Amino acid sequence: MTSASETMETPARDAPLPRERFWYPYLLIAPSMIMLVVVSLVPFIYTIYLSFHAAKFGRVTDFVGFDNYAVLLTDARFWNSIGVAATFVVIAVPIEFMLGLAGALVLNQNVRGRSLLIPLLFMPTMMAPIVVGLLWKIMLAGSWGFLSYNVLERFDILPGTSVFASPDYALYALIFVDIWQWTPFMMLAFFAGLQALPLGPYRAAAVDGANSLQMFFHITLPMMTPLLAVIGLLRFIDAFKVFDTIYILTGGGPGISTETPSILANKMTFEFWNIGEASALAVLVWIAFFAFCSIFYQIAKKKLNAF
């Protein structure tokens, strides 16, 4: 039996929290929330404001309604940038995904020197984008670049010029650079997921006579689905809005063959000084991503049980 003194000392579970304790969690996150509002929300709201106004050469003048959006949606250059970004994502992300998952499965087999191999594999992802851009600009420079001279020139694939100066090959060169840089990230993210999986289901499957392929499809993939979905979604978003390496390597050229929405928005703002249309472009891309992420979340939650 519980004594009367113990009963008096034990606080009631349903008693309301003191006001100081109630506000304490909000005080802890307040600095981060204020920073997010100042850095992200306020600029975004101002971008929406600019998209409904005639803003050129640094001056915001008349309210034009949806005119900026109408001009943008009828501009062939805008749709070309969407097509370039879509091509970039559709080729680069699945390759990075498959190579990353394959590499993670290999690393998960207790290969020799894994503790040394993992930091070396992660080096491309750790590099600053400007370093990656300059590195591959030198490697693929026309005639004298290491790969240009030993591969493109020697096998007469693209003699006498840089691959980044070719409208037919420049985008694929950028895709190759992106795969080189971000496949290690996918690999290590998936490897961390594999390391966290419980061993019980694998031991039970081994007792039942399941082989490695059956374990992969019936145990590993179902348990890894949440991680695969999240990493795939994040990489898709990041690849679609890639800017830095493209800006350094091609600047959107030659012509507009590698011009993504990010590059186009930069040119609209800092070369054409058409800030209103650039803001409309940014808002349209955000709306598209918001819709895509919402649909992806619902599908992944219901069909894949990923969230």
Per-residue pLDDT of the chain (307 residues; tens, 9 = 90+): 445 444 444 445 555 556 667 788 888 888 888 998 888 889 899 999 999 999 888 788 889 989 999 999 999 999 999 999 999 999 999 999 999 999 999 988 877 878 888 888 889 988 988 899 999 988 887 777 777 766 666 666 666 677 888 888 899 999 999 999 999 999 999 999 999 999 899 999 998 888 889 999 999 998 998 899 989 999 999 999 899 999 999 999 899 999 999 999 999 999 989 999 999 999 999 999 999 989 988 888 887 776 6
User: In which residue are the tokens 């290491």 written?
Assistant: 146
Output the pLDDT for position 1. 46
| Residue among 139, 131, 147, 85 nearest 244 (CA) | 131
CA distance linking residue 78 with residue 6, whole number of Å: 73
Question: How many helices (DSSP H) and strands (DSSP E) are in the chain?
Answer: 16, 2
CA distance linking residue 305 with residue 284, whole number of Å: 30
| Residue among 42, 38, 54 nearest 280 (CA) | 54
Output the pLDDT for position 174. 95
Output the pLDDT for position 60. 86
185's tokens: 């990230």
Residue 95 vs residues 116, 229, 236: alpha-carbon distances, Å? 25, 15, 12
Element containing residue 170 per DSSP (H, E): helix 170-195
Q: Where are the alpha helices (DSSP H) in 37-128?
A: 42-51, 67-73, 76-107, 114-121, 123-126
Ramachandran sector of residue 75 (left: φ over 0; alpha: ψ -120 to 50; beta: rest): beta
| Residue among 285, 279, 269, 289 nearest 81 (CA) | 285
Q: What is the pTM of this model?
A: 0.85
Instruction: Identify residue 106 by its one-letter amino acid code.
Output: V
